[in-house]
Amino acid sequence: MKAFILKFTLFVAIVSLLTACGSGDDNATGSENQGGDDVSISLMHYYNKELGEPAPTAQLEKLDEFAANNPDVTINQEIQSHDNYETKVKTLAAGDELPDVFLIKGSMTQQFLENEQVMNLDEFLNENDGWQDQFIDGTLTPFQVDGSAYGVPISGGATHIVYYNQAIFDEVGIEAFPATWDEFLAAIDTLNENDVTPIALGNKGKWVLNSSYLSTLGNRYTGDEWFDNILANNGEAAFTDQPFIDALSAINQLADRDAFNENMNSIDNSEQQALYMNGKAAMFIEGDWAAGSISSNAPEEVLENTHVAIFPAIDDAGGNQNTVSGGGGWAYAINADVTGEKLEAIKDMIYHLTNEEAGKLILEKGQMPAIKVSGTEDMELGRLTREILELLEDNKYVPIYDTILEPALIEEMNNNMQVMVIGQVTPEKAAENIQKVYSK
């Protein structure tokens, strides 16, 4: 899907006119104050209703609900495509033109704080009794600096889930999802021999290989201590260490065995899902959010045969093999310059978007929220969502590289992996290039 930018501003006079005409925009929220001055909030995000992604769809619904309940607040939304969002928010930050509320990844937190562009949210998180304690362990961590929070996370599940079509496996003689890495490689060979693309990959935005592959494989090979040392920059770990090279080599091994579609770097993650849903690939690897898309958009035959797994155990890897990358993904940040009535309205809006009721809606749509949701056993959840909940019960979350590491380092990782899988750099050279940026 081609990236796009959708921009619009909803003024009070326009709202009055549209209301009189009985028309409106599904992607906009805003309402008119009937008895006083409007509070106008600018909000930038990447939620696209047409894609049907669980958390974004839930957030748009909660925005509409907040607008309906708060007629004195107008929300002016600027909507970016997911792949363009990070570039746009960094550009606005560089020009000191950030909106009142915007989404950040953990990797942006430190820089925005140093530039005094984001607000400390500790007091806010403690204003509602028990709210801060309701967040799942680790989901706030990417947005904290020295123990203080600068973002309120939305979703908090796994970024690595293998979605596979058991009917295709059956057709080629693969009875069950592989239990070891060697069996996984053998399954890829079998699928290729039967002219089936093993894994649909859409890495045009560069983040899929990082979030959904490397973060999990990296920990499988390096273990926890290595990454802690990387973050501490204490000289005890480097990206040229053999375990990290081995993690890159595992991805490269998949590419060398023709596990992916040839156009992997020219399609995005929604298109990789489409390849899978059209029966053109036996698997795709993405986060838990994809469960909602598959449940809503896949043909019945594909949905019925779709199950979930994680990368199988790797015999020669030194880390814990019951691991999956996960935790807080994106969070709401508040512009440090916001004050007064606008700040209070923003707090009310963010709480409405991230409390347990909002988390319940995200879960019902098929994605893991950042906040704990009670009574899940009585909820009507999709089969895939239930399978993911059960899968994650037995596996430990490990850090998502591209929500924690410095932006320049992430960019170097992503660029090198994109060319590595098409044979333009070796894993060793990619590691060397990443280390050069890290050393700076």
pLDDT by residue (tens digit) across 287-330?
988 988 898 899 999 999 999 999 999 998 988 898 999 887 79
Q: Name the amino acid, one letter, at 401.
A: Y
In the three-class reduction of DSSP (H, G, I as helix; E, B as strand; rest coil), residue 59 is classed as helix
Token pair, residue 421, equals 């899988």
Tell whether 380 is covered by a domain: no
Tell whether 389 is covered by a domain: no
* β pairing state of 101-105 and 39-45: parallel
Residue closest to 78 by CA, chosen among 49, 99, 104: 99
Q: What is the pLDDT of residue 351?
A: 97
Chain centroid to Cα 74, Å, comes to 28
Q: What is d(CA 67, CA 61) in angstroms, rounded to the nearest whole number? A: 10
190 lies in the same domain as 127? no
Q: What is the pLDDT of residue 219?
A: 95
233 lies in the same domain as 222? yes
pLDDT by residue (tens digit) across 81-103?
887 898 899 999 999 999 999 99
Tell whether 388 is covered by a domain: no
pLDDT by residue (tens digit) across 332-354?
999 999 999 999 999 999 999 99
Tell whether 181 is covered by a domain: yes
Among the residue ranges 1-15, 36-50, 389-403, 406-420, the one predicted with the least confidence is 1-15
Q: What is d(CA 271, CA 239) in angstroms, rounded to the nearest whole number? A: 31
Is the pLDDT at 15 greater than 80? The verdict is no
* β pairing state of 39-45 and 73-80: parallel
In the three-class reduction of DSSP (H, G, I as helix; E, B as strand; rest coil), residue 80 is classed as strand
Q: What is d(CA 149, CA 140) in angstroms, rounded to the nearest whole number? A: 7
272 lies in the same domain as 407? yes
Q: What is the pLDDT of residue 32?
A: 34
Of 29 and 403, the structure prediction assigns the larger pLDDT to 403
To which residue do tokens 């792949």 refer?
83
Q: What is the pLDDT of residue 393?
A: 80
Tell whether 307 is covered by a domain: yes
Start-to-end C-alpha separation, the chain: 36
Of the pLDDT bands very low, low, confident and very high (cuts 50, 70, 90), residue 24 is very low
47 bridge partner residues: none
257 lies in the same domain as 370? no
195 lies in the same domain as 287? yes
Sheet with 152-153: list strands edge to edge.
Answer: 5-7, 73-80, 39-45, 101-105, 330-334, 152-153
Q: What are phi and psi of 103, to 5 degrees?
A: -90, 140
113 lies in the same domain as 33? yes
What is the tally of structural domains in the chain? 2
321 lies in the same domain as 357? no
238 lies in the same domain as 267? yes
Tell whether 387 is covered by a domain: no
Report the share of the chain in percent with pLDDT over 70.
92
Tell whether 381 is covered by a domain: no
315 lies in the same domain as 337? no
340 lies in the same domain as 433? no
Q: What's the CATH code of the domain at 62?
A: 3.40.190.10
Q: What is d(CA 190, CA 187) in angstroms, rounded to the nearest whole number? A: 5
Cα 345 to Cα 27, 151, 286, distances in angstroms: 20, 16, 35
pLDDT by residue (tens digit) across 240-253?
999 999 999 999 99
* Candidate ranges 144-148, 245-249, 380-384; pick with highest mean pLDDT: 245-249
To which residue do tokens 């660029």 refer?
415
Q: Which letter does DSSP use for residue 298 in this model? A: S
Chain centroid to Cα 437, Å, comes to 24
Is the pLDDT at 10 greater than 70? The verdict is no
Q: What is d(CA 17, CA 30) in angstroms, rounded to the nearest whole number? A: 13
Structural domain for 218, as ranges: 161-325+394-439
Token pair, residue 106, equals 């953990």
200 lies in the same domain as 311? yes
Question: For residue 149, what are the contacts with CB-CB under 8 A and spacing of at least 6?
Answer: 120, 121, 122, 125, 132, 140, 143
Tell whether 69 is covered by a domain: yes
Q: What is d(CA 109, CA 328) in angstroms, rounded to the nearest whole number? A: 13
149 lies in the same domain as 209? no
Token pair, residue 73, equals 């607040």
Supply the pTM of this predicted model. 0.74
Number of other CB atoms surrounding residue 357 within 10 Å:
13
Across residues 356-371, what is the average pLDDT?
Answer: 90
